[in-house]
Amino acid sequence: MKGPWLVLLPSLLAGMVSCSHDRREDLSTHYSALDLVDTANVQHLQVAWTYHTGDMDTVNHSQIQCRPLFVDGVLYGTTPRLKVFALDAATGKQRWVFDPVNPGDNSTRPNFGLNNNRGVAYWQDGAEKRIFFTAGSWLYSIDAATGGLVTSFGQHGKVDLHDGLGRDVHDLYVAATSPGVVYKDLLILGDRVSEGSDAAPGHIRAYDTRTGQIRWIFHTIPQPGEYGYDTWEDSIAYKHIGGANCWSGFSLDEKRGIVYAPTGSASFDFYGGKRKGQGLFADCLLALDAATGKRIWHFQDIHHDIWDKDLPTPPALVTVMHNGQSIDAVAQPTKTGFVFLLDRETGNSLFPIEERPVPVNSTLPGEELSPTQPFPVLPKPFVRQTFSDSDINNLLPDSSIEDIRRRLKGYHTGNMFNPMSKEGTVVLPGLDGGAEWGGPAYDPATGWLYVNANEMPWVITIVDVPPVKTEPTTWLGAGKELYARNCISCHGPDRKGGGNYPSLLNTASKYNAVSFAALVGAGRRMMPAFKQLSDEEKGALASFILDNKQLQKKPFVAAARPVDSFLNLPYTITGYNKFLSKEGYPAIRPPWGTLNAINLNTGALEWKVALGEYPELAARGIVTGTENYGGAVVTAGGLLFIAATRDGKLRAFNKRTGKVLWETVLPAPGFATPAVYSAGGKQYVVVACGGGKLGTASGDSYVAYALPR
């Protein structure tokens, strides 16, 4: 085959087939045409091989969120510490490992935080075969045969993601957790940025697969003369507003040459008084010309988002029957629990969408909310969207139920678009969905879309950022102020953490002043790198968090820098707090995690089942579902494979009924989407078992299952 070609790209791929040389589109459908494993024999699956990466970090709760990539009998994936490996897909035997910390190219050692990674991308042109992946702020090109850097790409095989964003962001956090998508000789890549006021812009870039040069850029925060520029009331928003980034990955219609990019909210997430207006292209599904980056159409699912309702996953590219016609469409699940079904070429909705009035009575000066938000008439929401007294968890003791009822009365609730408030606003579906980054699965034989979802209420409380009355004179005073401005929104005023953010109360047992300052500068997973802080400020922050009495006495010398009113917002939040009972269970009644089958031809919900269990409740015959991260794979054999749950199981469901046909306990929870492929005449199901989320133990293995000979 001549010329660049695309095969089974990133972690969200069209399917795993036995012949990887088929020219395929990245439809993000998580579908496999394999049927060697089916509803009649799935119960005979057993472990075929296990691969241990050997580099988990139990102290810092490392994870593996990668869906491995199968090409020509080789499986490519990533490890907890962001190494890339190649395995024999039939045996799990290692072929090579690439370590970005020690790449062996005699170049400068890259400095990156330990982010999560959800997959790699593959490109081939004749004998050239390359793997693209990101670690921290670096994009790497690796020889797929040897695991060595392709030194002709970028700077000795890597590209700094800070470059080419239109303004100097080298002191800001820019990384990528999802793989790019390959179109011909282009790698199209999004990024992850801070969610605070110091966020870099989330522009989408296409890199030359051979040289690493930027071939095109799409400004997700439009500049003068560009479409959408007038949707920002501030005429220079593009100079200081960040976010609106495509962090979850892309879908590609290669035949039409269209790439579909879902974007997140603009920053700061929870207060929009400094970013007034509709705010294109935040919270949009973008259809772009894959060759040029030019906008074809867009759909905004949230106007002026202050609820952190990023589009969490690339849409599934589907073909449905609508009014007697076969239509190619995109199916976009959302954190709010909707599925928007749009024509691929025009962006027109196949089902009616109503702009309905929503609350606008914000008590925060300067906030101006959108008076309406879009609601699809069909499909109906696949999760609950409001939390009232009748929804309180009925499995709890009476004293806990009364405690939740008392707390609920003090919060703003009853509408998922209630403004943020100083009293506390209930966010349901939660900040992690509804739908989340695992993405949907689509069965072309039935037209059914499968979405796993969370139903966890969160509470966001706004607080004033204390004004700086006098410059702090000691490291203790400076540390307290820096914490209030940079850390309180994630770790809370009491430093106890919440949601996906850890407690800082015992940090001194793991870090000293030097190593903590290095962590602040590099970042780790959900924590961005605070490169904008001076060494003096990092030291002061360390003295406060580590409670180092000696360092706290040091005199503080403030770094000279211009005052930026856009960075110094008047409000922050008290943390990302799940609404839990005293016993640690969700405040809302079950189910807390679900698997949903939605008929896209009709918009009907075909079935819904609880996904996951708490062992102590399951022993009483109560199946509640759990929070879940990572998607499903649907197969022609009538099966739906999914891990994702905190109980650490991999399950196979009957795709037509939702009945569990097989399940097994993994060595650690599989917070990743499984891959299905054929090698050596056998069908395999493989999943990364990295654990680390939801208080679970970390793991370091990939486990493959197959039928016995």
Q: pLDDT tens for residues 184-213?
A: 999 999 999 999 888 999 999 999 999 999
| Predicted local distance difference test score (pLDDT) of residue 360 | 97
pLDDT band of residue 6 (cuts 50, 70, 90) is: very low
Distance CA 363, CA 210 (A): 53
The DSSP letter of residue 616 is H
Edge-to-edge strand list for the sheet holding 46-52: 46-52, 698-706, 682-691, 675-679
- 177 close to 189: Cβ distance less than 8 angstroms: no
Mean pLDDT, residues 351-365 taken together: 97
- Higher local confidence (pLDDT), 220 or 466: 220
- Give the CATH class of 4-316+327-385+428-456+590-706: mainly beta
637 contacts: CB under 8 Å, gap ≥ 6: 34, 35, 36, 37, 38, 39, 42
The model's pLDDT over 691-708, given as tens digits with 9 standing for 90+, comes to 999 999 999 999 999 999
For residue 659, how many other CB atoms are within 10 A of its CB?
12
| Predicted local distance difference test score (pLDDT) of residue 562 | 64
Distance CA 221, CA 86 (A): 38
Residue spans of the domains in the chain: they are: 4-316+327-385+428-456+590-706, 466-568
- 316 close to 600: Cβ distance less than 8 angstroms: no
The model's pLDDT over 22-41, given as tens digits with 9 standing for 90+, comes to 334 489 999 999 999 999 99
Integer Rg of the chain from CA: 24
The model's pLDDT over 547-601, given as tens digits with 9 standing for 90+, comes to 999 988 999 988 776 666 677 889 999 999 999 999 999 999 999 999 999 999 9
pLDDT winner (highest mean) among 14-18, 60-64, 120-124, 516-520: 120-124
At 87 the three-state DSSP class reads strand
| Predicted local distance difference test score (pLDDT) of residue 5 | 31
Distance CA 633, CA 598 (A): 15
| Predicted local distance difference test score (pLDDT) of residue 565 | 67
Mean pLDDT, residues 396-423 taken together: 98
Mean pLDDT, residues 600-616 taken together: 98
Pairing of strands 448-454, 571-573: unpaired
- 651 close to 610: Cβ distance less than 8 angstroms: no
pLDDT band of residue 531 (cuts 50, 70, 90) is: confident
Mean pLDDT, residues 224-245 taken together: 96
| Torsion, Cα of 629, 55, 190, 239 (10° steps) | 110
> Could you check whether 4-316+327-385+428-456+590-706 and 466-568 share the same CATH topology?
no
Q: Which long-range contacts (CB under 8 A, 24 or more apart) does 145-153 make?
A: 146/96, 147/84, 147/86, 147/95, 147/96, 147/97, 147/98, 148/98, 148/104, 149/98, 149/103, 149/104, 149/105, 151/105, 152/210, 152/211, 153/210, 153/211, 153/212
Compute CA 505 distance to the chain's CA centroid, rounded to the nearest angstrom.
27
Mean pLDDT, residues 525-546 taken together: 83
For residue 521, how many other CB atoms are within 10 A of its CB?
16
Distance CA 369, CA 197 (A): 18
Distance CA 433, CA 382 (A): 11
Options 1.10.760.10, 3.30.1360.20, 3.30.70.890, 3.30.450.30; CATH for 466-568 is: 1.10.760.10
Work out the end-to-end distance of the chain between its first and last CA atoms, rounded to an integer number of angstroms.
Answer: 34
pLDDT band of residue 3 (cuts 50, 70, 90) is: very low
- 467 close to 481: Cβ distance less than 8 angstroms: no
Sort residue 554 into left (φ over 0), alpha (ψ -120 to 50) or beta: beta
For residue 87, how many other CB atoms are within 10 A of its CB?
24
Judged by average pLDDT, the poorest of 8-17, 161-170, 596-605, 609-618 is 8-17
| Predicted local distance difference test score (pLDDT) of residue 13 | 36
Share of the chain above pLDDT 90, in %: 78
pTM of the entire structure?
Answer: 0.90
Judged by average pLDDT, the poorest of 237-251, 535-549, 663-677 is 535-549
pLDDT band of residue 661 (cuts 50, 70, 90) is: very high
| Predicted local distance difference test score (pLDDT) of residue 1 | 31
The model's pLDDT over 251-277, given as tens digits with 9 standing for 90+, comes to 999 999 999 999 999 999 999 999 999
